[in-house]
Amino acid sequence: MGFPGAERYDEDRSLLEEDCDILCPCAVPSVITEENAPRIQARIIAEGANGPITYDAHQILLSRNVRSLTAVIILLFFSRYHSLATLMSIVCSEQTSHLSVFTGLCE
């Protein structure tokens, strides 16, 4: 691609399966399926447009305490708190612990 300092990604597994805090699959429908959901390492998935997670994959992710949020929710948090550490401290606070979408993220 010619981007300075970039390296080609030639791993055997998908970028979706790399270890990360927040995974943001966007634009392509059904990229997270029941086949690859068990290998997703992110704890939060910020869903972009076009339904990137299938229903079966969503059930697998929920059983593994991987939470999916719409990208809008993540952007609202970041726009207010400016860092992942602050976002996670808010998510894990007593004020949000009652929200089912956050259950399991802070364990």
Read off the pLDDT of residues 49-81 as tens digits, 9 standing for 90 and up: 788 999 999 999 989 988 887 755 656 666 665
Domain extent at residue 42? 15-102
How is residue 17 annotated by DSSP?
Answer: G
Give residues with Cβ within 8 angstroms of 60, minimum separation 6: 34, 37, 38
Q: What domain count does the chain have?
A: 1
Alpha-helix runs per DSSP H in the chain: 55-63, 71-81, 84-91
DSSP for 85-99, please give it. Answer: HHHHHHHTSTTTTT-
pTM of the model: 0.62
Can you give the pLDDT at residue 98? Answer: 44
For 34-45, write each residue's pLDDT tens digit. Answer: 999 999 999 888
In a domain, 3, yes or no: no
In a domain, 38, yes or no: yes
